[in-house]
Structure 1
Amino acid sequence: MRRSSAIIVAVATASVAVGAVNATAESPPADRQGQYAAAAEEFGVPASVLLGVSYLESRWNVNAGTPSTSAGYGPMHLTDVAAANTGGTHHDDGTEDPRGDTARPTLRPEPGELDLSSPTLRTVELAADLTGVDEATLRTDVRQNIRGGAALLAHHQRELGVDSDRPADWYGAVARYSGATDTATAANFADEVFATIAEGAERVTDDGQRMRLAARAVDPNTGQLARLGLRQTDEDEAECPRGLGCEWLPAPYEEFEGGYGNHDKANRPESQKIEYIVIHDTEATWDTTLDLVQDPTYVSWQYSLRSADGHIAQHVKAKDVAWQAGNWYVNSKSIGLEHEGFAAQGTWYTEAMYRSSAKLVRYLAAKHRIPLDRAHIIGHDNVPGTVPSTVRGMHWDPGPYWDWAHYFDLLGKPFRGVGTPRAGLVTINPDFDTNRPAFTGCEVEGEPCPSRGSTSVILRTEPRSDAPLLTDIGLHPDGSPGTMHISDHSSRVETGQQYAIADRRGDWTAIWYLGQKGWFHNPRHAPTAEWSIGLTATPKRGRESVPVYGRAYPEASAYPEHITPQEIVPLQYTLPAGQEYAVGLVTGSEYYWAVSYDAGNHTVVRGKTKYVQVQFGHRVAYVKLADVDLRPSVSR
């Protein structure tokens, strides 16, 4: 396995385009639209192509000057891995056992060093060479960043030997800009850019600039792709929609001294229904991610997605169980997607990766009949701890900067409300760009994070902005309130999650959350949630409270003699009488016994106990169906 941390940079030598060194042109355009137009004219790039590429990288956002999860800066995503915070990986942050099976010894993976060798992580150097602008300025100055992207596109076009101002003749340069090393991924990136040009786009960026790409019919010269010299991707083994640029790089199922790894063989969905797709962020570079998942002593996940171009690698078949979510019940019922990223906090995700991920999830959801909602498409941060002792160490990726609303728009399932507050539920749905919680600790403990859009909404104990945060006794056993640290979701809800309405006062709405009433600002003129309808769970009459569980395991009598029953251990929370919680699904009880390398001994244990998945706090949880009443959420 490669564990190199050396930075290997391949910077092509090329003639500087005419006018490219004019980094300080007189009276540069002040508006963003004009800056794109000026850069396009200076470097001879069709404006629609420059705008289309930038949209697919960043949606024209500047992201507060912070790097993306693949070290890209600015609206043109110029990469500089040396400047980005390389951090560690989320698999070595905290105490979570990714396998999450208490029937086996605790798994503590060692991630090793990051591999930062890919030339695609240093495109800012070539842009500096082409423009005469220093790398720091290209990272931080938006106008120069746009010029740098235009210079790169013009450079790729010259390398192809194409002299044309027709957008259709820039297909090869666009494909090259993606940084993809295989034909299918490069084509998918270029196809998305030209689809954006054909459809047009208009939006206000995260720094308040109104941008527009007029729709224009273009028949791109796709034949240029063959001239890029990229490798062909063998998609035969990969379980992906065709044309997505997906390859099969298997995780090893191997025995070694002291155990085996790094996943378990199964026969899903025949043996167990797949209920969830879990969204992760790797907090590691692409090459490091691939090294880790191909290590039999490490952990596993089904798919990895590359940030810069949306390329996908599959490692574990959907029928098998990957060790990815820290909860064995969820692992055995889910498919895990790891999205490339190594700057552990405060980073952003490219549009190219969002789109590839959404295509893959739509395919998987249709194939396995998984509903496209936030009860089934969940983040790692929504997976519950297994027992009280594991709650505090559970991971929190993809974090508060993953744009769930945009992701579900791409999935074709936008979050829409129904009716009035009498519907009884809310679906959290703030405006991503303007919703900017004051998080801390992205780079330095206690220091404010950059001001940037988020899908998180903060809860208070009272309907006022200076009221204390709620308490999560799993994360703060001493009973202290939650904090605004980036990883502390004690008092935080996420876009798409549904909660039962507990109260309303003016511009404030209260929901039931971890056994408490949590208030969030929800003004009519700028709502942060949609009124919604569904089922809720509440304790049966006469019960003061009911236990809450992190796993939906069977009763002891359901286990065969050769399998030790898994103890049904409630978490440290309870669901009190008088409170209601949104229902995600009702399910039977299961435990997948797979404690040895010999898959012939693996057994699915099913019990008579039924469970209800509820949105209990930031994470989902389970209650026994026999303990609760289910009823429509409509206010009574």
Structure 2
Amino acid sequence: MPTRAARTRAALLATLTATVLAAAGTPALAAAEPGHPMGRAFTRAAEAFDVPRDLLAAVGYGETRLDGHAGRPSQAGGFGVMHLISNPTHHTLERAAALTGEPVAALRTDTAANILGGAALLRGYADGLGLDATDRDDIDAWYPAVAHYSGARGTAAALYADTVYSFLATGLDALTPDGERITVTGRPVSPERDGVGPADSGARSADYPAALWVPADPNNYTTGRTAKIDKIIVHVTQGSYAGSISWFQDPVSEVSAHYVVRSSDGQITQMVRDADTAYHARSANASALGIEHEGFIDDPTWFTDAMYRSSAALTASLCDRYGIPKDRAHIIGHSEAPGNDHTDPGPYWDWDRYMELVTGSGTGGETPTG
């Protein structure tokens, strides 16, 4: 007898196809409306693909803080509020185009189309997991589909889904870059993990035990070093926490950092051992430790108190361990590293506050030399 998943996929195929075609041919689903365009986009996309509206909004908030960044790609090649990805190994942008009938160009730059694409992907993952109509009404049943949406695996996928469900539990009251308010009402959640283990059940870092350990792909760093560790470089991910972890696990990326810090609560994941050379700052790689911070350089809302405090504690510990002076000549931004063309951590990173937390002295540290 066919499994529930097989029966569900067969029964829903015609319905989903009809829904997709209807969505593609209905301008109201793909065109922003005045007043509350993003809120309407979430509601209409959720209705079109039978995805819980609050889940869809929480995924978008976790990915981008509801900022499409005018169609500019993230570090991992993700576009729009729902971070639809197009890179050599992940093609959710193109899959969303196939599911919705929306042009790829629209999915990159049009917020309503992008949100519709995100809803289509989530529904597709739910169908693949065998969720029927009753299951889809239970927000807890969507946890494995959300983990799948991350494009990550193992601990990174669980980190992603856990973050989304933390937003559902606490609720959201967020402003978009255009000043529109998007809300999600908090509620008790008990996600049905269905084989996706808790994120905190993974290995811990041997270099900084407060951190999780999720190794980068060996193609993205070099074992050992050719120079003494003498500096720490502050980065901003230009993407989400779990998305950046996934990107550093992808062998095609050829980039990595030693540590990644989450915005919402300051959680830290180490991906490259301190003794090894991560690929994060070109000529400075051999002598530097790299710390990535979840967020985008043009949006200061990512730089939370929890992030500053957690990262500063990590930096202080690393300075003590490797004899690095706690000043701005040795704790620098990516933009300050020799031979780099990046601008992170950008104008909204509060260096005075960060250095006060690192030094514990109530001063902002020294200005970099050279």
Q: Secondary structure at the match of 1:278?
A: strand
Mapping for residues 74-473 of structure 1, pairs under 5 Å: 74-81=80-87, 117-118=88-89, 120=90, 122-163=91-132, 164=135, 165-180=137-152, 182-225=153-196, 235=203, 239=207, 244=212, 246-247=214-215, 251-253=221-223, 262-264=225-227, 276-279=232-235, 286=248, 287=250, 291=254, 302-303=258-259, 314-317=271-274, 335-337=289-291, 361=311, 364-365=314-315, 367-368=317-318, 375=328, 378-383=332-337, 394-399=339-344, 402=345, 455-456=346-347
TM-aligned CA deviation for residue 347 of structure 1: 8.5
Asked if 1 retains the 8 angstrom alpha-carbon contact of 2:174 and 2:181, the reply is: yes
AA of the residue aligned to 2:289: I
Number of equivalences = 320
Q: Secondary structure at the match of 2:196?
A: helix
Asked if 2 retains the 8 angstrom alpha-carbon contact of 1:153 and 1:174, the reply is: yes
Asked if 2 retains the 8 angstrom alpha-carbon contact of 1:78 and 1:123, the reply is: yes
| 2:67 is the alignment partner of 1:61 | yes
Aligned position for 1:73? 79
TM-aligned CA deviation for residue 243 of structure 1: 8.3
Q: Deviations over 1:343-366 (max 9, x none)?
A: xxx9979x9999998797367347
Asked if 1 retains the 8 angstrom alpha-carbon contact of 2:334 and 2:342, the reply is: yes
Distance 2:341 2:117 in 1: 35
Q: Deviations over 1:402-422 (max 9, x none)?
A: 4xxxxxxxxxxxxxxxxxxxx
Distance 2:260 2:121 in 1: 27
Aligned position for 2:369? 621
Q: Secondary structure at the match of 1:279?
A: strand
TM-aligned CA deviation for residue 36 of structure 1: 0.4
Higher percent of residues as strand: 1
TM-aligned CA deviation for residue 155 of structure 1: 0.6
TM-aligned CA deviation for residue 184 of structure 1: 0.8
AA of the residue aligned to 2:214: C
In structure 2, do the counterparts of structure 1 residues 64 and 51 end up closer, same or farther at CA, with 3 Å as the change threshold? Answer: same
AA of the residue aligned to 2:235: I
AA of the residue aligned to 1:136: A
In structure 2, do the counterparts of structure 1 residues 240 and 156 end up closer, same or farther at CA, with 3 Å as the change threshold? Answer: farther
Q: Deviations over 1:78-103 (max 9, x none)?
A: 1224xxxxxxxxxxxxxxxxxxxxxx
Higher percent of residues as helix: 2
Q: Secondary structure at the match of 2:20?
A: coil
| 2:3 is the alignment partner of 1:35 | no
Distance 1:291 1:303 in 2: 16
TM-aligned CA deviation for residue 304 of structure 1: 7.3
Distance 1:169 1:355 in 2: 32
In structure 2, do the counterparts of structure 1 residues 347 and 323 end up closer, same or farther at CA, with 3 Å as the change threshold? Answer: closer
Distance 1:147 1:244 in 2: 34
List runs of 5+ in structure 2 lacking aligned partners.
Answer: 1-9, 321-325
Comparing 233-242 with 39-48, which one deviates more in the overlay?
Answer: 233-242
TM-aligned CA deviation for residue 208 of structure 1: 2.9
Asked if 1 retains the 8 angstrom alpha-carbon contact of 2:260 and 2:270, the reply is: yes
Q: Deviations over 1:444-467 (max 9, x none)?
A: xxxxxxxxxxx53xxxxxxxxxxx
Q: Deviations over 1:198-231 (max 9, x none)?
A: 11122221233222122222111123526xxxxx
Q: Secondary structure at the match of 2:24?
A: coil
Q: Which structure has the greater CA radius of gyration?
A: 1
AA of the residue aligned to 2:369: A
In structure 2, do the counterparts of structure 1 residues 248 and 292 end up closer, same or farther at CA, with 3 Å as the change threshold? Answer: closer
Asked if 2 retains the 8 angstrom alpha-carbon contact of 1:200 and 1:216, the reply is: yes
Distance 2:70 2:332 in 1: 27
Structure 1 runs, 4 residues or longer, greater than 6 Å off: 280-285, 320-324, 346-349, 351-360
AA of the residue aligned to 1:380: H
In structure 2, do the counterparts of structure 1 residues 196 and 263 end up closer, same or farther at CA, with 3 Å as the change threshold? Answer: farther
In structure 2, do the counterparts of structure 1 residues 315 and 276 end up closer, same or farther at CA, with 3 Å as the change threshold? Answer: closer
Asked if 1 retains the 8 angstrom alpha-carbon contact of 2:234 and 2:333, the reply is: yes
In structure 2, do the counterparts of structure 1 residues 304 and 213 end up closer, same or farther at CA, with 3 Å as the change threshold? Answer: closer
In structure 2, do the counterparts of structure 1 residues 583 and 363 end up closer, same or farther at CA, with 3 Å as the change threshold? Answer: closer
TM-aligned CA deviation for residue 313 of structure 1: 6.1
Aligned position for 1:19? 19
Aligned position for 1:444? none
